[in-house]
C-alpha cells in the first residue's frame, strides 16, 4: 500500500473548505478553458474503464488535455484479453508504475476505486464504482448550484422522479446535507429514498425529515408523498409550516432524474409513471426562479420544448464538468493548491481480524475480486455496534460481535460489545457462526440457575 498520494474515491475525501477552493479554481478555468495548457504538460492520465461510459471518459480526457496533459485510453478493459485474469491491484500497479501519472477508474463493482487507491502508486479518481459513488459528478452538481445561486447553504433543492435507485441522487443528497442545503423529495410513488439513505442522513448529518406540502409544484408533484429534509433544527422552520406540513414557497433548483429502469423489477416497471417536465409544469409559481438540472442523458423526463428556457441549465451543467474536473486533476497531480484544511469526514478503517469477509453485497469489490483484497470496515456506531464495509459502504449485517483477543462473543447491543477495540472486532451473523469460528459465549449468571 502506498502513502503520501492523494486520491478521490469519495466526496468525503475532501473537506468543505477544499471543495469551496476547488470551485474557485473551476470558476477561474471556465473563464477561458483554452488558457491553462501550461499547468500539466508532460503529465499523463490513464482512463481505465471496466465498463463503458463515453460521456464521463470524454469529460475527463478533455479536462486533462485542456490542462496540457496527455491521455491513455483503455475504454473497454473488461473485453481486453490483456486484462483477463489480472487483478485490479496488479493493473493499477503496472499502469501507475510509469505509464501514467494518474488513473481515472470506472468499474462495475462497488468499492473498486477504494481498492485501487490502496495499491496505486499514483492518484486514483473514482469515475463511478457500481451503484456506489461518482464523486466528480456530485462535485459538478454542487458546483452548478454554487455558480447559479452563489451558495449552497440554506437553498431549497427539489429532487424529482426516481429517488430510489439512482446513485447520483444518493451521493447528491448526502452532499447537499453536508453543505446545509434544504432538500425537498418529490419521488414517484414507490420510488422514495431508501431507508438506509434516510438513516445515514440522520446519523451523519443530523437531518430531520418533515412532511412537505408541495401543492405549489403543480403537476410535477401530483400523487407525490413529498418530504422535506433539513440539516437545520426543525423548530427553526416553524414559521413556514402549517397543519399540512412545511409549505414549499420558492425553489432554487429542481433536479430531475432518469428512471433507472434497468434496475426495476417487473412490478416496478409496470408501476412507473413518467414525470415529464414541460412548459406547463415549469409554469408552477414556486419554480419561477428555479434552475432545472439533470445529470443527463435524459430520456423523456424533460421535454425538448423547455431546452431554450433560461432556467434549463442541464447542458451548462454538463459543460461545467470540464472545469471542475480540470481543478480535481490539477490538485491531485500537485499542480494546484487548495490552500485549505483537509480534515476528512470519513472515519478510519479497520482490517477484519478473523473469519471471512463480513460484507454481504455480491457486487462489492471485496467479493468480485478474489486477489489482493483484505476485507475492512469502518465503524458507524458503538451502541449497538454498527459498521459499514470499507469498500462498498454497505452496512454489515450481524447480530453478534466477537473479540479476537478474548475469543468471547456478545450481542451487538450489549455493553460488553461496545468495549471491544475496533481492531479486535469480529462480525458474526448468529451463534452458529460464532461457535463455528471458535468463539465462546460470554458467561451469563442466569444460565447457572
**Shortest distance, position 388 Cβ to a copy of itself, whole Å:** 25
Does residue number 99 form part of the binding site for a copy of itself (CB under 8 A)? Answer: yes
Question: Which has the closest alpha carbon to 330: 83, 47, 29, 99?
Answer: 29
Selected from 16, 58, 198, 345, the binder of a copy of itself by CB under 8 A is: 58
Are 156 and 38 within 8 A, CB to CB? no
Residue 389 Cβ, how far from a copy of itself at the closest point, in Å?
A: 21
CB of 296 to a copy of itself, least distance (A): 6
List the interface residues with a copy of itself, window 323-342 (CB under 8 A). 323
Helix (H) or strand (E) segment spanning residue 304: none
Cis check for the bond before 384: say yes or no (omega within 30 of 0): yes
Distances (CA, A) of 245 to 132, 159, 207, 211, 233: 32, 18, 16, 5, 15
Q: How far apart are CA 55 and CA 322, in angstroms?
A: 11
- Provide the β-strand partners of residue 256: 160
Residue 294 is among the residues annotated as catalytic for this protein? no
Backbone angles phi, psi at 274, to 5 degrees: -80, 125
Distance separating alpha carbons of residues 326 and 424, to the nearest angstrom: 42
Quote the Cα angle for 381-130-113, to 5°: 75
Whether 138 is a known active-site residue: answer: no
> Binding pattern to a copy of itself, positions 384-403, x when CB under 8 A?
--------------------
Which residue number, 247 or 353, has a Cβ lying nearer to a copy of itself? 353
Question: Any catalytic annotation for residue 56?
Answer: yes
In DSSP terms, 230 is beta-bridged to 208
| Contact range with a copy of itself by CB under 8 A, out of 319-327, 343-351, 403-411, 420-428 | 319-327
Are the CB atoms for 429 and 399 separated by under 8 Å? yes
The reply to whether 219 sits near a copy of itself by the rule CB under 8 A is no
Q: Are strands 291-293 and 253-256 parallel, antiparallel or unpaired?
A: parallel
3-state secondary structure of 171: helix
**Closest of 426, 399, 396, 419 to residue 411, by C-alpha:** 399
Choosing from 84, 265, 444, 448, which is the catalytic residue? 84
118 makes contact with a copy of itself (CB under 8 A): no
Work out whether 35 is an interface residue with a copy of itself (CB under 8 A): yes
Give whichever of 98 and 348 is closer to a copy of itself, judged by the CB atom.
98
Q: How many residues bind a copy of itself (CB under 8 A)?
A: 61
Out of 14, 21, 22, 43, the residue judged to bind a copy of itself by CB under 8 A? 43
Residues 128, 117 contacting (CB under 8 angstroms): no
DSSP state of 212: E
Considering beta carbons, is residue 92 or 193 the nearer one to a copy of itself? 92
Q: Is 418 in the site for a copy of itself (CB under 8 A)?
A: no
- Does 320 participate in binding a copy of itself (rule CB under 8 A)? yes
Residue 53 contacts a copy of itself per CB under 8 A:
yes
Nearest in space to 313 (alpha carbons), one of 334, 295, 330 = 295
Active site residue 84: yes
Do 412 and 385 contact (CB within 8 A), yes or no? yes
Whether residue 200 lies in the annotated active site: no
Q: Which of 150, 243, 297, 445 binds a copy of itself (CB under 8 A)?
A: 297
Residue among 258, 329, 248 nearest 297 (CA): 258
Longest dimension (CA), the chain: 82
Residues 362-381 as x/- pattern, contact with a copy of itself by CB under 8 A: ---------xx---------
* Cβ at position 321, least distance to a copy of itself in Å: 7
Residue 62 interacts with a copy of itself (CB under 8 A): yes or no: yes
Which of 5, 16, 17, 72 lies at the binding interface for a copy of itself (CB under 8 A)?
72
Piece of the chain touching a copy of itself by CB under 8 A; list 56-64, 139-147, 239-247, 342-350 = 56-64
The neighbouring-strand residues paired with 355 are none
Q: Tell me which of 4, 31, 85, 267 binds a copy of itself, using CB under 8 A.
A: 85
311 binds a copy of itself (CB under 8 A): no
Nearest to 412 by CA among 391, 443, 381, 439: 381
The stretch near a copy of itself (CB under 8 A) out of 98-106, 227-235, 336-344, 346-354 is 98-106
Binding site for a copy of itself (CB under 8 A): 33-35, 37, 41-44, 46, 51-56, 58-59, 61-62, 65-66, 70, 72-75, 77, 79-86, 89-91, 93-95, 97-101, 296-299, 304, 315-316, 318-323, 371-372
Tell me which residues are annotated as active site: 55-56, 84, 106, 134
Amino acid at each position: 500500500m502506498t502513502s503520501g498520494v492523494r486520491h478521490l474515491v469519495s466526496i468525503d475525501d475532501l473537506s468543505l473548505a477544499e471543495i469551496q477552493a476547488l470551485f474557485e479554481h473551476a470558476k477561474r478555468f471556465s473563464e477561458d478553458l483554452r488558457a491553462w495548457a501550461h499547468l500539466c504538460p508532460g503529465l499523463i492520465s490513464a482512463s481505465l474503464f471496466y465498463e463503458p461510459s463515453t460521456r464521463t471518459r470524454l469529460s475527463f480526457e478533455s479536462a486533462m488535455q485542456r490542462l496540457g496533459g496527455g491521455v491513455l485510453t483503455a475504454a473497454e478493459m473488461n473485453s481486453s484479453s490483456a486484462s483477463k485474469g489480472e487483478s485490479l491491484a496488479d493493473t493499477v500497479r503496472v499502469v501507475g508504475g510509469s505509464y501514467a501519472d494518474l488513473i481515472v477508474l470506472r468499474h462495475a463493482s462497488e468499492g473498486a476505486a477504494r481498492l485501487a487507491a490502496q495499491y496505486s502508486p499514483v492518484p486514483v479518481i473514482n469515475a463511478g464504482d457500481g451503484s456506489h459513488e461518482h464523486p466528480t459528478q456530485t462535485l459538478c452538481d454542487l458546483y452548478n448550484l454554487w455558480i447559479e445561486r452563489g451558495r449552497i447553504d440554506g437553498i431549497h433543492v427539489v429532487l424529482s422522479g426516481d429517488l430510489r435507485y439512482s446513485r447520483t441522487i444518493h451521493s447528491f443528497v448526502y452532499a447537499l446535507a453536508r453543505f446545509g442545503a434544504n432538500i425537498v423529495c418529490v419521488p414517484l410513488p414507490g420510488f422514495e429514498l431508501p431507508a438506509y439513505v434516510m438513516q445515514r442522513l440522520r446519523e451523519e448529518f443530523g437531518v430531520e425529515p418533515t412532511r412537505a406540502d408541495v401543492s405549489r409544484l403543480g403537476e410535477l408533484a401530483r400523487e407525490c408523498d413529498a418530504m422535506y429534509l433539513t440539516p437545520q433544527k426543525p423548530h427553526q422552520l416553524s414559521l413556514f409550516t402549517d397543519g399540512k406540513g412545511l409549505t414549499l414557497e420558492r425553489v432554487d433548483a429542481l433536479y430531475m432524474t432518469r428512471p433507472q429502469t434497468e434496475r426495476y423489477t417487473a412490478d416496478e416497471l409496470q408501476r412507473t409513471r413518467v414525470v415529464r417536465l414541460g412548459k406547463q409544469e415549469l409554469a408552477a409559481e414556486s419554480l419561477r426562479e428555479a434552475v432545472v438540472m439533470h445529470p443527463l442523458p435524459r430520456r423523456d423526463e424533460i421535454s425538448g420544448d423547455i431546452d431554450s428556457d433560461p432556467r434549463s441549465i442541464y447542458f451548462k451543467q454538463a459543460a461545467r464538468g470540464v472545469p471542475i474536473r480540470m481543478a480535481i486533476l490539477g490538485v491531485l497531480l500537485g499542480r494546484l493548491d487548495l490552500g485549505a484544511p483537509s480534515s476528512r469526514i470519513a472515519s478510519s478503517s479497520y482490517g477484519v481480524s478473523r473469519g471471512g469477509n463480513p460484507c454481504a453485497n455480491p457486487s462489492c469489490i471485496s467479493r468480485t475480486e478474489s486477489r489482493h483484497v483484505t476485507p475492512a470496515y469502518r465503524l458507524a456506531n458503538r451502541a449497538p455496534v454498527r459498521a459499514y464495509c470499507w469498500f462498498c459502504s454497505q452496512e454489515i449485517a450481524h447480530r453478534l460481535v466477537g473479540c479476537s483477543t478474548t475469543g468471547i462473543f456478545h450481542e451487538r447491543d450489549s455493553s460488553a460489545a461496545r468495549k471491544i477495540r475496533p481492531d479486535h472486532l469480529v462480525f458474526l451473523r448468529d451463534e452458529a457462526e460464532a461457535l463455528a469460528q471458535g468463539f465462546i459465549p460470554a458467561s451469563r449468571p442466569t444460565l447457572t440457575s
